[in-house]
Amino acid sequence: MNIQDAIQLFDEYQYQEAFEAFVAVYTESNNLEERQSIIKILMEAYYAPNAQQLQEMYESNIQILMAYPYFWNKTFQNFSDLSFLLFPIDDDLFYIFDKHTQTFTAKYDGISDQHMKHFFSDLEHALVVRNEDSLYNLKFLFDTVRRSEDVALDNHIYLLYDAWEPLERMMQIGNLKNILRFEKFVFLMEETNHAKYPIDFKEQYGIDYINMPQKALQIEDMNRICYWWKRGYAGGILGTGVLGANDYVSMKWGWQFHQHTKFQGQPLFSTQHFYEWISDINKMYSISDIAHLYQDPMYEWYFPDFDDFFGFIKKYDETRSYTLPELFRLFFIFHYNKNHPSKSLRVAPIILWEPHLNDQTAYLPIVKTFDYKIILNSMREPLTLTTRIFESEQSIFPYSEYAICMNVPEELQKNYYAYRFEDLKAYPQQTTKAICHVLNIPFDAKMLDVDVPYESPNTTTPNEVVKGFDCAPLHRKLDYVLSEFDQVRLKIFYDPILRHYGYSNTFDFTECPMTDEDIHYLLKFPFRFEALFVALQKEDVTAQEIREILYKNMVTLLTMSKSGELHFPTVIRIHTEDI
């Protein structure tokens, strides 16, 4: 790579690639003249067009922080005297240049969600965050941590900085005004100020949080959702039940709203009306509209506790109207308050919603209205899952994981996570802690109490207990459904999935190399479950028809996998050193 290559990338409008190419040449060069030439190019092409905006933002934030009460030693440097420069190379990506060492030190993307941290591992003490330079993270904290006045204790977010540069970076890339509303943050700059933590607000400011009345959760508090992406027979009931035992989770299943409700005599969730209705997220509903809808004879509502919920809505604010996303949030606030009548939450709970629908996209219009969203499910080892599905439903569907990868919308794929069912069974503490880390909630020991009751979607009887951590399902015998030949072929078929999730029963392609043609040839032979399936069918279906459909689908999915069309979730790994 040389300067001309970098210039060519710039001329082709590949600005980020060009910048990185210039930096690579600059870093490797020992020629002072060449380095000065590169700096001049970068200053003219990247820095100068944005310098005024960076300076104005920095100086605007100085004025905001000068007026902020919980900030000591406000000795802000002039913009020109800062020890570094920020070179913008994309909408939310910068390069840091150290003026003293004349080196490019690191990329900086303080606006994106790429560096979200786990902030809530310890909520026994006032919250401490060290050297935070992500404006996105501070906004998340502002949106999620409740006001001290609402929870009747010191619930400020103490920002401890060993040096000024992390804050100075943020001051250039975004306005701090909005997140400083309600004075949730306390800035403690440099070690001399760290000793102020925690502040005695009653002594220093005459603010007695302890004697303030606690405030109930508000619609605006409920800005996080974990949307459970159903995968049949993969431990979804166990996973949602364990998570639902956490005090910082408000969990409900679809059976409590749409599962048993009918519209014009048909299951509501199977009608086009349901999809049209739930996608109209801007329509407003007054209190009388809600009552009329519930009494509409076209509906047969199965809505436990509707009268209490309706009373809760009226008490919340009888004069206002609500959108569906707002009613959705109120639904979870109502149930959370009902299950935790005396709980004062320092951090607003995350909603865990398992609609239990085959069409997972139904609730996405509402899910997308949340500022912070995660798609989550439980993965089960594919060969065992194939056997489990057949034994339970006499159904053959040995490619469900591929189908799930295709269904998650592209804009939510970066938010898509999965953990292994086997990990939750065998290592419940490590796995639940890892999931809590991703959801940014504290770990709750009640998640490990397998006898804790939670409502099952399979019954209208509340508090059915589903035993959780018995490992017997991990040792299911496969030979009734899959021959040894079948198992080898499914390992080959599922190879991308087995490797992505870190399963150990993978096929050794190094010892036995195989072409696509070899794999397709192996898939032409019937599986043991095909004959079992045909024998159990009451409908007129032939073995040949089953064979043709199965082969076509498996080859198609393998081809899609090879072409990179499938998007697997981020796997939630457990810390093996703790096992």
pLDDT tens digits, one per residue of 248-294: 999 998 877 788 899 999 999 999 999 999 999 999 999 999 999 99
The pLDDT assigned to 404 comes to 75
Q: How is residue 81 written in tokens?
A: 């005297």
Which of the four pLDDT bands, split at 50, 70 and 90, describes residue 359? confident
What CA–CA distance (Å, rounded) separates 115 from 92?
13
Segment 186-195, tens digit of pLDDT: 999 999 999 9
Which of the four pLDDT bands, split at 50, 70 and 90, describes residue 350? very high
pLDDT at 461 over 50: no
Which of the four pLDDT bands, split at 50, 70 and 90, describes residue 397? low
What CA–CA distance (Å, rounded) separates 109 from 116?
11
Supply the DSSP string of 10-61, one letter for each residue.
Answer: HHTT-HHHHHHHHHHHHHH---HHHHHHHHHHHIIIIIHHHHHHHHHHHHHH
What CA–CA distance (Å, rounded) separates 216 from 220?
11
| Mean confidence (pLDDT) of the chain | 90
The pLDDT assigned to 462 comes to 45
| Beta strand segments in 383-425, E | 416-420
For residue 94, give the nearest of 110, 81, 80 by alpha carbon: 110
pLDDT at 466 over 60: no
- Decide: helix, strand or coil at residue 67: coil
Q: How is residue 223 written in tokens?
A: 């800005």
More confident residue, 468 or 288: 288
Region 471-494: what's the mean pLDDT? 91
For residue 503, give the nearest of 383, 411, 399, 335 by alpha carbon: 383
